[in-house]
Amino acid sequence: VAALQGAISNIDPRLARVGQVIGPDRVVITGSEMETYLRDWSGDGRGQALAVLRPATVGEVQACVRVCAETGLGIVPQGGNTGLVSGTVAEDGRDIVVLSLSRLNRIRAVDSANLTIDADAGCTLQAIKDASEAAGCIFPLALGAQGSCQIGGNVATNAGGINVLRYGMARDLVLGVEVVLPDGRLWNGMSGLRKDNRGYDLKQLFIGSEGTLGIVTGVGLKLFPRPENIETAYVGAASFEAAMSLLAVARRACSDMITAFEVMGSECLAMARLVDPAVVPPVGQNTPVHIIFELSSSRLIDARLLIETVLSEALASGVAIDAVVAQSQAHARAFWAIREDLVEGQARRGYHVRTDVSVRLGDVPGFIAAARKYIETQWPAWISQAYGHAGDGNVHFNVLPPENLAESEARRLGADVTAGLYDIVRAFGGSISAEHGIGRSRRDVFWAGLEPVQRNMLAAIKSAIDPQGLMNPGCLIPLAKEKT
């Protein structure tokens, strides 16, 4: 212990104080051990930090934060590190530590009468989902990283995913948060109440603030009764216009039981085939738009009849040109595998332009058409990939560089490709971040696009809650702007 403590002290005497309060074995300083904490899933850059702190309790988190506040160490709070916008990847590590919540991984309580779950921030999303299912309920947040991402990170970044259409973003699923504030004080904002109109809704500040206002250490979440019937259809449509018409018809016909409405341009199938060369989509693979459409219901509702009726009407009216309803869970999983494989396939291609755009529902086809035309005319050797959560107006319009292009050159040009896409987003009044957040990789374009009044409000809130600017410095708000 003394040797460890000495090694820590050699790196930075401030770390020695942290080691004294949480134990030197919880202060990670060796390069190989630190490496996984310094890159997020995007692989877009490697961060810097003096050390990684791994407290095991809320009290230890407070103790770490107090030392940092007293000694001027910046803190990058980190959950599963599955973000895509470098929100956990500090640019300058001289006065920075990463604080990992991984050891805070206890399910605190499941209350099936209240339809709530309380948990430590470091529980994986999958652990939350499993504990909910064990109580006959569901926690509906669902996204690719759910086995690794942590619920505190989901809340801090207001995560989205495939079930937002029915259940909302993480924000909509949070009833309470417990937060260690930048001075080390604990705010217990956990009530389990479904309605509570007492003053400013402080939890909203922390949800989606990407760790820049405090460290979420605990969350209270809404659960829902587990649907007994799930029906999944794979539908082909002639265009994104037709796909959005199907969505409108389906929403009107199915009350609020549509749990997912994912669209994929046919060009995405090639990416799925990189992962599974044998993949054959359930509808003709040249069908311009592929749709995965899922309904969930209680046992008293015949979800199969409902989805078949909706699809029959859609085929009769020409809104859909082909449709297959999954006949088994395995069949449904095969549909979803195509959606998952296309993401994995893009990753295997290496660097690519990745966007996370939202526009008004009626603008989804127009945005995709404009973006495709831009790539075809301005970047003819690059390949568009249009897919996403169409039910929310959220399009992941990605662009693959030419295969023979060196990565460094692709990244350099990719920045220009992205800038052009963001111009199109702006022209549609859309958002450059529907669900992934701002982090560091979108920070400058975000900040440049703000009206002064918005910048002032963001900076005022940051200063009000984190006057020293020690919480996730450089994330979301430019470093030099924090104090203005």
Contact 259, 296 (CB under 8 A): yes
Q: Which is nearer to a copy of itself, 26 or 436 (CB)?
A: 436
Choose the binding region for a copy of itself from 127-135, 265-273, 299-307, 328-336 (rule: CB under 8 A): 299-307
Question: Of the two residues 350 and 362, which places its CB atom closer to a copy of itself in the complex?
Answer: 362
Question: 102 with 122: CB under 8 angstroms?
Answer: yes
Q: Which is nearer to a copy of itself, 54 or 389 (CB)?
A: 389
Contacts of 324-331 spanning 24+ positions with Cβ under 8 A: 324/233, 324/234, 324/235, 324/282, 324/283, 325/231, 325/232, 325/233, 326/231, 326/232, 326/233, 326/234, 331/232
Q: How many angstroms separate the CA atoms of 353 and 401, rounded?
A: 8
Query: How many other CB atoms are found less than 10 A from the CB of residue 326?
Result: 22
Number of shown-chain residues binding a copy of itself (CB under 8 A)? 89
Q: Beta strands 96-100 and 51-53: pairing type?
A: parallel
In the bound complex, what is the minimum distance in angstroms from residue 195's beta carbon to a copy of itself?
Answer: 4
Q: Could you tell me which stretch among 13-21, 188-196, 260-268, 402-410 binds a copy of itself (CB under 8 A)?
A: 188-196
User: Site map for a copy of itself, 361-380, x if CB under 8 A?
Assistant: xx------------------
Residue position matching structure tokens 């996984």: 36
Window contacting a copy of itself (CB under 8 A); options: 63-71, 117-125, 207-215, 379-387: 207-215
Q: Provide the minimum distance between the beta carbon of 160 and a copy of itself in the complex, in angstroms, as a whole number.
A: 6
Q: Is 160 in the site for a copy of itself (CB under 8 A)?
A: yes
- Of the residues 30, 255, 317, 329, which one makes contact with a copy of itself according to CB under 8 A: 255
The verdict on 427 binding a copy of itself (CB under 8 A) reads no
The reply to whether 430 sits near a copy of itself by the rule CB under 8 A is yes
Please state the closest distance from residue 138 (CB atom) to a copy of itself, in A: 11
Among candidates 64, 56, 138, 63, which has minimal Cα distance to 98? Answer: 64
Burial of 400 (0-12, 13-18, 19+ CB in 10 A): buried
Could you please report the per-residue DSSP string of 334-347? HHHHHHHHHHHHHH
Q: Does 448 bind a copy of itself (CB under 8 A)?
A: no
Cα torsion 315, 357, 142, 313 to 10°: value is -10
- Count the Cβ atoms, other than its own, within 10 Å of residue 282: 21
Q: How far apart are the C-alpha atoms of 204 and 188, rounded to whole Å?
A: 14
Residue 63 zone, left/alpha/beta (φ > 0; ψ -120 to 50; rest):
alpha
Q: Give the binding range for a copy of itself (CB under 8 A) out of 275-283, 321-329, 411-419, 446-454.
A: 446-454
Nearer to a copy of itself, 248 or 419 (CB): 248
Select from 74, 393, 414, 473 the one that contacts a copy of itself (CB under 8 A): 393
**Sites for a copy of itself among residues 256-295 (CB under 8 A):** 256-257
Using CB under 8 A, which of 29, 49, 89, 476 touches a copy of itself?
476
Stretch touching a copy of itself by CB under 8 A, among 69-77, 97-105, 220-228, 377-385: 220-228
Structure tokens of 297? 């219901």
Could you say which residues in the range 64-123 bind a copy of itself, by CB under 8 A?
A: 111, 113-116
In whole angstroms, the minimum distance from the beta carbon of 327 to a copy of itself comes to: 21
Q: Which of 301, 315, 343, 347 binds a copy of itself (CB under 8 A)?
A: 301
CB 418 within 8 A of CB 355: yes
186 binds a copy of itself (CB under 8 A): yes
